[in-house]
Structure formats: C-alpha cells, structure tokens
Homo-oligomer: A and B are copies of this chain.
Amino acid sequence: MPKIVRFHRLGGPEELRLEEAAPETPQAGEVRIRVQAVGLNNSEAQLRRGDYPMLKASFPSRIGRECAGIVDAVAPDVESIRVGDLVSTIPAFDIQRNGVYGDWCVVPQAAIVRVPPGMGRIEAAAVWQQYLTAYGPLVEYGRADERHVVLITAGASSVGLGAIQMAKSLGCKVVATTRSAGKTGVIRRAGADHVIVTETERLASSILDATGGKGFDLALDPIAGPGLEALAASAASGATIFLYGQLAPEPTPFPLVSVMRKGLSIRGYTLWEITLDPARRERAVRFICDGLETKRLQPIIDRVFDLSDIVAAHRYLESGRQAGKIVVTT
C-alpha cells in the first residue's frame, strides 16, 4: 500500500507520520503524481511546529510543496498533461490538502511543469521554491543587472544559493552572509563575490567594506528580526530590502531613521505573487527553464534521505547544518 506523510498535531519532527493511503482520484483540474523525489523547505518545518507566519495548520495535515515524479492519473478535463509525463510541482496550492510528501500527491494542473530534458528527479525536486523565490525580487521587481550590488542573507540555504546563481547570471555583484565559516566554500562556488560570516563579523560594517562604502542596492532576506537594523544601516540610498521569511525568533523593530534618511523600501514578498499570477508565472518559468538548460542555474543538493526516514530528514532540516537542498526520495 502506498504511503503519505501527515501530521496530526503541532510539534517536532517526530510528529510526521508515514501512513498508508490509497491514491485519491484527481478532481476537476487536478493531476495525480507518482512521487519520486520531494524537496524540503524551512517553511514546512515552521508549519509543523506552528510558527509559519503565513499559515496555521489544521489536522490532519499533509505537507510539502515541491516534488518530481510521473503523472499517473489526470482529471477528465485536463488536456495539457498526460499520464506518463515526468513533471515537477510549482508551490501554488493548498499545502494541507495537496501536500506532496509521500508516494503520491494530487495537485492542480496549474502547479505542474514538465521536467527539462536531461534533468534528474532529485534536481527536479529542488528547482521551483528556490528559483521562483529569487525571481520576483531579482527579475520581476528588482530588474537587477550589472549596475547592482545584491545582498543575499542566509546564503547557504537553498533559496540563498539559488538567488546567488541567479544574481550572478544577471551580472550583479553579490555579497552573501552565512552564520558559520563552514559554509563559505559552497557559497563561493555558487558564485558569491564576497561572503560575510555573521558569527565573527559585524554585519553592517562588513557589507559596507565589501561594497566600497556604497552599500547594497537590493537585499533578499528570509530572517527579519533585529538584523534588519544592520541591513538598513548598510543599504545604499534608494535600496530595496525584500523580506521573504521570518527565521528570527525575535520581533522586528522598524529601522525608521535609516529608512527615511536613505529613502529605503522594505518590501514583503512571497513567491505566491509570481505563482498565482498567470502572466508572471509564465515569464518566471521561461526564465528559470532557460537558466537550467544553459546551466547558469544548477540546483545544489546537500543530502538525500529515503521517505521512510522523513523524521530524520526534518531533524536535519532543522539542524541548520545543510548547505543547499535536502531531498527525500521514494
């Protein structure tokens, strides 16, 4: 009997249960996937713990937004996708109902993208969350190019590494941060021009040093919290800081004086702005597929777990030891 992952209450990784469940029949507009690989995301650990700012779980809840696999059933009204297609999912659906951790999932056809030729199932499960998150701030809104200095905090996260690759492909100068010195290698290999280790360096002055005193023009930050003050202090005049997460446990004081003095914009962002708008999504998918084909974008995989070890995989996700994507295979 196939298995799916669900949780029945908030808590630690051990709340994730591998449960037998017969595959559901796709409803109108839906597609069923025989899942081969699942990409894990920090927001999924937050949802399980109950500190995901964007959604509170109701129970029982499926979980997971990113997978690759083979289509094995489609609703009668679905014409553009066929049984047997190798596909991956864009995070654009109800994670609780359509969650993808497991041997099967059912998702809206609008969330399906064919896997580019030559790409393996593990890499294919590590594409959309990271590159779509980076795409909005860098391309759709920021229109970043060789004139821009881009700051990427949490640079060794999957989104961080993906954003570094994308910013370099656009010609930007890239400064990235990481907590500990152990991850500077992978961040440099992803293309960062300068890496700041926040455990041992002062963030604001290091950013200013790395940019010749000018500061950054665009920042992508999933942390927020008190560190926002240092970002505002090291931003160039007119810079925009995109906040796309809340990893810091502390509240976020608003750095009003720097923000006024330098005319800064602090912009909230989630990839839903891209995934839920058909025109933006189409532009984004084309841009990212082009980057994958030309190898300017290459998912970086940290470690692969078996689905039966999902609890260990989430424990590792929470450890912060990874650099790049954690993938679970069935």
23 pairs, A vs B, C-beta closer than 8 Å: A53-B260, A224-B254, A228-B254, A243-B256, A243-B259, A245-B260, A251-B253, A252-B253, A252-B254, A253-B253, A256-B268, A258-B268, A259-B266, A259-B267, A261-B268, A263-B267, A263-B268, A263-B270, A263-B273, A264-B267, A264-B268, A265-B267, A265-B268
A268, B239: Cα distance in complex, Å: 11
Cα-based distance from A243 to B255 in the complex (angstroms): 11
Q: Report the minimum CB–CB distance from A300 to chain B (whole Å).
A: 25
Cβ contacts under 8 Å, A93 to chain B = none
A253 CA to B263 CA in the complex, in Å?
18
Which A residues are closer than 8 A to B by beta carbons?
53-54, 224, 228, 240, 243-246, 251-254, 256-270, 273
Cβ contacts under 8 Å, A256 to chain B? 53, 224, 243, 246, 252, 268
Are A266 and B263 CB-contacts (below 8 A) given A243-B256, A254-B254?
Answer: no
Nearest B residue (CB) for A244: B260
Q: In whole angstroms, what is the CA distance A266 to B251 when docked?
A: 17
Q: Are A243 and B267 interface neighbours, CB within 8 A? A: no
Bound CA span A261–B56, Å: 13
Contacts of A246 in B (CB 8 A): 256-257, 260
- Smallest CB gap from A253: residue in B: B251
Is the pair A269, B273 in contact by a Cβ cutoff of 8 Å? no
Taking a contact as CB atoms under 8 Å apart, the answer to whether A54 and B260 are in contact is: yes
Closest CB of chain B to A176's CB: distance in Å? 21
Given that A224-B254, A252-B253 are known contacts, is A268 also in contact with B260, CB under 8 Å in the complex? yes
The reply to whether A261 and B224 contact each other, CB–CB distance below 8 Å, is no
The interface residues of chain B lying within 8 Å CB-to-CB of A261 are 54, 268, 270
Closest chain B CB from A133 CB (angstroms): 12
Q: Assess whether A243 is in contact with B260, with CB atoms less than 8 Å apart.
A: yes
